[in-house]
A and B are shown apart, each in its own frame.
Chain A
Amino acid sequence: MKDSADLLFEIGCEEIPAGVLPGAIKELKVILEKYLASNNLTNGSEVEVYGAPRRLTAMCANVRLKQPDEVKEVTGPPKSVSYDATGKPTRAAESFAQKMNVPLDNLCLVATPKGEYLSAKQTIRGRSAKEILEDCLPRAAAEIPWARSMYWTGIKGLHFIRPIRWVVAMLGGKTLQVTLGDAVAGNATSGHRFLGKARVPVTGATDYIQKLKANYVLVRPEDRKNKIEGELKRLAGGKGLKIHEDSHLMNLVTYLNEYPTAIMGGFDPSFLELPNEILVTVMKDHQKYFALERKNGTLAPNFLAVINLDKDKEGLIRAGHERVLQARFADARFFWETDQKCRLADYLPKLSAVTYQEKLGSYADKVQRMRELARWLSEHWFASGITSASVGAADRAAELSKCDLVTEMVREFTELQGIVGGLYAKSQEEPEQIALAVYDQYKPAALEDSIPRNIVGQAVALADKFDSLVGCFAVGLIPSGSSDPFALRRAAIGIVKILVDAKLPVSLSMVISKAARALSTGPRKIPVSHAVEKQVLEFLLDRARFVLKERENLAYDEINAAFSAGADDLVEAIQRMEAIKAIRKTKNFEPLAVSFKRIRKILEKAGPEAGWKLPAVQPELFTEDAERELHIRAASVIKAVETHKRSAKFKDALQEIAALRPEVDRFFEKVMVMADDEQVRKNRLTLLSGLLLEFSTIADFSELVTADTAR
């Protein structure tokens, strides 16, 4: 008799939303593997999982039909009470054997640290896989996590994403007794809703995929994806067109259909006069069509739709989709034309009626604050020698930035906010850099996204994000856990990315306090405390740590060393970090870093500065050459470091400091800091504290992980 068999488990469900289906398939695998492993039913063989809109499927080869028996040794009474003097078993031994349900002869003696004891081997019979699975499969189904589930067999019934309508649960070709909700497991799956048979009996895992395929269900997502990709390519190629690639859409149509088939449709070329962004959004986001491009990169008046059938037998489907798209485009054209009956700036007054946040006021209030901040940033950059920064352009772009929120187009296509404003600005002949700035204002949408293309857009995007961040923190809307309704984490990452990628110099704490000023003097007079400003800075630095580590290939301690030294201009901070990275491997550096830590510890031990700090180092109090030399060398190094720092030559500065190592080493070799003479001691402490202070302005060496701290 075979001792293992294939398991097939299919949860037949009404249409599962495409967005959550891939995640659910993965969860099912994890959950089932957990149950199979914890019940010792597999030799680690993997559970294969598949899914289509109306089903979640799991299969596992070689599931043990029965758990292996387990032999357990149970210790009984000690030998002394188990046998009498003649070696005959006593009552105690007899009752132990009885309790263990073994013949007296099967008892044996085991040696333990406490002496010899009677022991019985007990065999625990493994449960059958059938019994275990009938218990575990319903639990596994109920454990699949959903963001929003429902019940359908009454409020106390099973909660699932949609009603379960059939279940296949088979082990080695035999049906398991499983009920999910009100669906009793059998041996029949169900084919495609319109093309297949409603009842498709299977013999188990071996013929399941094939039988479904014959009934127009491709249960393996990759089979569906391959079919779609092949057909899209063929249809587009046939017309000499290129597909507007979109992996998100590809994934969506893969999980929206059980038997996907691509069809091509067309639309009136006169719609091509609308901007590509709008046409593509309508096709992609609203209708889930792939847009097509001609060889020269312009949009073609065609689209590809993926339908859930084998063919469009009478052309009705194509005609239907074309009609829907036509109506959508007609709407978009209507919005495009009505919105532009007045100029973008004419929408400004309407912004006072649109609330950004109850306490932070309307978008009109926000725009006013953004303008102030964008102007200040541009002025600051211009003064730093970035001549492309323009106060006037940044002010105008910030002023226009939110106008599109009250246009019909954005009301209908909210995902096009910013882009629509940019397009309107362009078609109304605002200067190009202003139109682009409005267009790009929400960038970067994620760490992988690009930043605004010009410095005007960068100023507006930063102004927007800093205002949101400082404003929300000021009124207590601080992100916690998964709750971040104003997307402040994304805003913070956006700030870091813009500053770093565009190499824009500015102190974060200074922008924060400018944003705070705009809030407290603005129309809403929102007070921002210093504590809040500090909180925002910490929040930003946290994101910066993450971004810099991910993208700049910097180590945590290098990042922290620069931040702890007070670097809050990210461009400069990165230069410092790179300098640290470059120099930390040189021979003098690490021992010096160790010495700095030692200095820090000595000073901490010496107690509050007031107790020992002299107004200045007094050379006449030196008793050793080593301290005299250190003092003299340090003075010249400090000067050199200052010069290098001023011209941002951080590596040179750090090299200077590192070159001080022999003097520092000799100092610690020859000099006892905590001398008996109070004045001498104070003088030495003052020397060391001066060194630490002067040399920690670029990087805080005590943050660096050195060989000794790593140990």
Chain B
Amino acid sequence: MNPKVKTKAPKDATFQNLILQLQKYWSDRGCVLQQPYDIEVGAGTMHPETFLRVLGPEPYRVAYVQPSRRPADGRYGENPNRLFKHHQFQVILKPSPSDIQNLYLNSLTAIGLDLAAHDVRFEEDNWESPTLGAWGVGWQVLLDGLEITQFTYFQQSGGIDLDPVPAELTYGLDRICAYLQGVDSVYDVRWSDQYTYAQVKLLEEQQFSAYNFEYADPIITRNLFELHEKEATQLLNVYERQSDAPNPRFPILAAYDHCLKCSHLFNLLDSRGVISTTERAQLIGRIRQISCRVAVDYLAQQAASRSVAAIEEVTL
């Protein structure tokens, strides 16, 4: 028995069309369409458009695709469901509107799912990122038993209580598309009309699995971790020393980039199997320390800019 899923998805349910449909849907609902972050991240949450934008009082809506690297999940392209780099579609709605669940469900209709013909449910799944000092409560959304989205009401990020509360939707694009197209392996997904997922991505999966598990030099990786940590810490130290008037041009964002580098290099060390359990906890703590400082400093800088802007408005 080889169950084939029939769906009513339109014939053009290619991977890239799925992205286009989601972008259109959320753009129509007031989201800024952002682009993937250009530094390695493990999840769309780490993109500054999520991590930093959820802080503070300003409303914001944003949507973007985020290729997400999980070095330990690589399977040399041989496992039909597991990927070193999978694709998340990330939506942040801040504050979370009261009809957020319906907005989300309508997005599933927009990508071609008949909700009355499928079993869609919200099952408890609280989310936590120890490296980002972030957590929230929510669900995994299951489509006929398949986890397709992580739905989270953020409560804290960078160790800071969030007010207003943003909602985060993270769609697992690769598996949703495989489901829509009724294929058992993500590599059989049609990326475009002409190309399959395998043609576009297989080489990358193979080479990076090899790199992450076999070739990445643990000593160099560790050194890189420490260099990025040092640079981030140095920057934050300088910023935190200038106490009175926060400089709006001070590169907190650059400190965060180095923090992201650390996070990725940590994942790499982990997949190389060179981190003991105790060291693991220590490294996570070091990254969290940077990310939480970034969050605090970023907030202070934003607040200062806001008050400057307010003063300028009054003077005008």
Which listed residue, B79, B153, B184, touches A152 by the CB 8 Å rule? B153
Give B116-137 interface residues, CB cut-off 8 Å to A: 116-124, 126, 136-137
Chain B 1-57 residues near chain A, CB threshold 8 A: 1-7
Which 10 residue pairs spanning A and B have beta carbons closest together? A320-B144, A17-B124, A355-B277, A15-B122, A322-B3, A307-B119, A155-B163, A324-B145, A321-B145, A150-B137
Given pairs A15-B122, A150-B165, A308-B119, 13 additional interface contacts (CB within 8 A)? A14-B101, A17-B124, A162-B153, A163-B153, A287-B145, A316-B6, A320-B143, A321-B144, A323-B5, A326-B3, A334-B79, A353-B277, A355-B278
Taken residue by residue from 190 to 209, chain A's Cβ proximity to chain B (1 for < 8 Å, 0 otherwise) reads as 00011100000000000000
State in angstroms the CA–CA spacing of A17 and B105 once bound together: 19
Task: Render A309-334 as a binary contact track against B, CB cut-off 8 A, 1 for contact.
Answer: 10011111111111111110011001
B116 and A316 contact, CB distance less than 8 A = no
Kindly identify, within residues 57 to 92 of chain B, every residue whose CB is under 8 Å from any CB belonging to chain A.
Answer: 79-81
A323-B5, A330-B80 as given contacts; A317 in contact with B116, CB under 8 Å: no
Chain A residues with Cβ below 8 Å from B165 are: 150-152, 154
**Are B184 and A323 in contact (CB-based, < 8 A)?**
yes
Residues of chain A within 8 A of B242, CB atoms compared: none
Question: How many whole Å from B290's CB to the nearest CB in chain A?
Answer: 24
Contacting pair B79 A326 (CB below 8 A): no
Establish whether residues B5 and A316, one from each chain, have CB atoms under 8 Å apart when the complex forms.
Answer: yes
Q: Does A556 contact B (CB under 8 A)?
A: no
Task: Tell me the bound Cα distance from A268 to B1 in angstroms.
Answer: 6
Question: B3 near A309 (CB under 8 angstroms)?
Answer: no
Interface residue from A154, A287, A326, A355 paired with B163 (Cβ < 8 Å): A154
The answer to whether B80 touches A309, judged by C-beta atoms less than 8 angstroms apart, is no
B144 near A150 (CB under 8 angstroms)?
A: no
> Measured between C-beta atoms, what is the minimum distance from A180 to chain B in Å?
12
Contact in complex: A316, B144 (CB < 8 Å): yes
A sample of 12 cross-chain residue pairs with beta-carbon separation below 8 angstroms, ordered by A number, consists of: A151-B165, A308-B119, A309-B116, A309-B119, A312-B119, A313-B116, A317-B117, A320-B143, A320-B144, A324-B145, A353-B277, A354-B277
Interface membership of B115, Cβ < 8 A: yes
The reply to whether the CB of B161 lies closer than 8 angstroms to some CB of chain A is yes
Q: What is the chain A residue whose CB lies nearest that of B124?
A: A17
CB distance from A52 to the nearest CB of B (A): 12
Residue among B3, B80, B165 having the largest count of chain A Cβ atoms under 10 Å:
B3
Contact B124 A18, beta carbon cutoff 8 Å: yes
Establish whether residues B119 and A317, one from each chain, have CB atoms under 8 Å apart when the complex forms. yes
Is B218's beta carbon under 8 Å from chain A? no
Residue A130, interface by CB 8 Å: no
Interface assignment of B96: CB less than 8 Å from any CB of chain A: yes
Chain B residues near A320 (CB-CB < 8 A): 5, 118-119, 143-146, 179
- Decide yes or no whether B164 CB sits under 8 A from chain A: yes
Say yes or no for B239: interface residue by CB 8 A criterion. no
A685 interface contact, C-beta 8 A: no
- A353 in contact with B146 given A150-B153, A330-B80 (CB within 8 Å): no
Cα–Cα distance between A324 and B179 once the two chains are bound (Å): 10
The chain A residue with its CB closest to the CB of B152 is A150
**Are B155 and A327 closer than 8 Å at their CB atoms?**
no
- Interface residues in A146-202 (C-beta closer than 8 Å to B): 148, 150-152, 154-155, 162-163, 165, 182, 193-195
Residue of A with least CB distance to B126: A148
- Quick one: closest A residue to B75, CB to CB? A334
Structural contact, A317 and B153, CB atoms closer than 8 A: no
- The smallest beta-carbon distance between B295 and chain A, in angstroms, is 16
Are the CB atoms of A154 and B116 closer together than 8 Å?
A: no
A54 to B259, CA, bound (A): 40
Q: Is the CB of B80 within 8 A of A327?
A: yes
A316 and B7 contacting across the interface, CB-CB below 8 Å: yes
Q: Which of A162, A193, A268, A334 contacts B137 (CB 8 A)?
A: A162
Contacts of A323 in B (CB 8 A): 3, 5, 144, 146, 179, 184
In the assembled complex, which residues on chain A have CB atoms less than 8 Å from the CB atom of B197?
Answer: none
Q: How far is the CA of A195 from the CA of B116 in the complex (A)?
A: 7
CB atoms of B98 and A182 under 8 A apart: yes
**Cα–Cα, bound, A287→B142 (Å):** 10
The distance from the CB of B166 to the nearest CB of chain A, in whole angstroms, is 10
Which residues in A have some Cβ–Cβ distance to B below 8 Å? 14-15, 17-19, 53, 148, 150-152, 154-155, 162-163, 165, 182, 193-195, 256-257, 266-268, 287, 305, 307-309, 312-327, 330-331, 334, 353-355, 358
- Nearest CB to that of A14 among chain B residues? B101
Q: Are B118 and A316 in contact (CB under 8 A)?
A: yes
With A316-B6, A353-B276 as contacts: A14 and B122 at CB distance below 8 Å:
yes
- Expressed in whole angstroms, the Cα–Cα distance for A489 and B176 within the complex equals 44
Could you say which residues of chain B place their CB within 8 Å of the CB of A312? 119
- Complex CA distance for A321 and B146, rounded to whole angstroms: 7
A439 to chain B, nearest CB (A): 26
How distant is A103 from chain B, measured CB to nearest CB, in Å?
56
Judge whether B211 is part of the interface by a CB distance below 8 angstroms: no
- Report the Cα distance A151→B79, complex, angstroms: 40
Complex CA gap A316/B184 in Å reads: 15
Instruction: For B164, list chain A residues within 8 Å (CB).
Output: 154
Contact A319 B5, beta carbon cutoff 8 Å = yes
Report B269-297 residues with CB < 8 Å from chain A CB: 276-278
Point out the residues of chain A lying under 8 angstroms from B124, CB to CB. 15, 17-19
Residues of B within 8 Å of A318, CB to CB, are 3
Instruction: Check B155–A324 contact: CB distance below 8 A.
Output: no
A317 contacts B139, C-beta separation under 8 Å: no
CB within 8 Å for A313 and B117 given contacts A152-B165, A268-B1, A334-B79: yes
Q: Closest CB of chain A to B15's CB: distance in Å?
A: 18
Asked if A155 and B144 make an inter-chain contact with CB atoms under 8 angstroms apart, the answer reads no
How far, in angstroms, from A14 to B116 measured CA to CA in the complex? 19
Contacts of B121 in A (CB 8 A): 15, 256-257, 308
What is the distance, in angstroms, from B92's C-beta to the closest C-beta of chain A?
15
Contacts of B137 in A (CB 8 A): 148, 150, 162
Please give me the residue from chain A that is nearest to B99 by CB atom: A165
- Nearest CB of chain A from residue B145's CB, rounded to whole Å: 4
Residues of A within 8 A of B117 (CB): 313-314, 316-317
Q: What is the CB-to-nearest-CB distance from B304 to chain A, in angstroms, rounded to a whole number?
A: 22
Given the complex, which residues of A lie within 8 Å of B4, measured CB to CB?
319
CA distance A354 to B278 in the complex (A): 9
Given contacts A155-B161, A256-B123, A354-B277, contact A325 B145 (CB under 8 A): yes
Query: Once the chains bind, are A305 and B145 in contact (CB under 8 Å)?
Result: yes
Q: How far apart are the CA atoms of A182 and B165 in the complex, in Å?
A: 14
- Min CB–CB distance A288 → chain B (angstroms): 8
In the complex, the chain A residue whose C-beta lies closest to that of B119 is A307
**From residue A544, how far is it (CB to closest CB) to chain B in Å?**
34
- In angstroms, Cα B278 to Cα A355, docked, is 7
Whether A194 contacts B179 in the complex (CB less than 8 A), given A268-B1, A320-B144, A323-B3, comes out as: no
Nearest A residue to B163 by beta-carbon distance?
A155
Q: 1/0 per position for B158-178, CB-CB distance to A under 8 A? A: 000111110000000000000
Minimum Cβ distance to chain B for residue A11 (Å): 15
B286 to chain A, nearest CB (A): 17
Which residues of the other chain, B, contact A53 by a CB distance below 8 angstroms? 122
Which residue of chain A is the closest to B183 with respect to CB atoms? A323
Q: Specify the chain B residue showing the minimal Cβ separation from A355.
A: B277
Q: Report the minimal beta-carbon distance from A216 to chain B, rounded to whole angstroms.
A: 11
A317 in contact with B184 (CB, 8 Å): no
